[in-house]
Amino acid sequence: MGYNRIRIERERNGYEVSCTDPAIQKANEARNKSGATDCCEPWQDPEVEFSFDTKEQVLKFLESAMDVALPADTYTSEFDKLAKEAMK
């Protein structure tokens, strides 16, 4: 899986929250693995954006979206094993 993140930016009249949509990212990865170029779903940008008027709305959104946009299993990989070996 690619780079997962949530970014919050303050705008003149509220906030913009951008995050990686794992469902779109997964569809892109499946598309890339199939190797076919003429029958696949089109690639989509996995970064989605939402606008909110208040900080409270942003926090409410983050409360439910954080585990979806930042899945814990994304960060386990072969590199974890390499890092542990290097720390010995």
* Residue 1: pLDDT band with limits 50, 70, 90: very low
The Cα–Cα gap between 84 and 71 comes to 21
11-69 residue pLDDT tens: 999 999 999 888 888 888 888 776 665 566 788 999 999 999 999 999 999 998 888 87
Is the distance from CB of 24 to CB of 36 less than 8 angstroms? no
The Cα–Cα gap between 57 and 88 comes to 45
Q: Does an H or E element contain 88, and which?
A: none
Burial of 18 (0-12, 13-18, 19+ CB in 10 A): middle
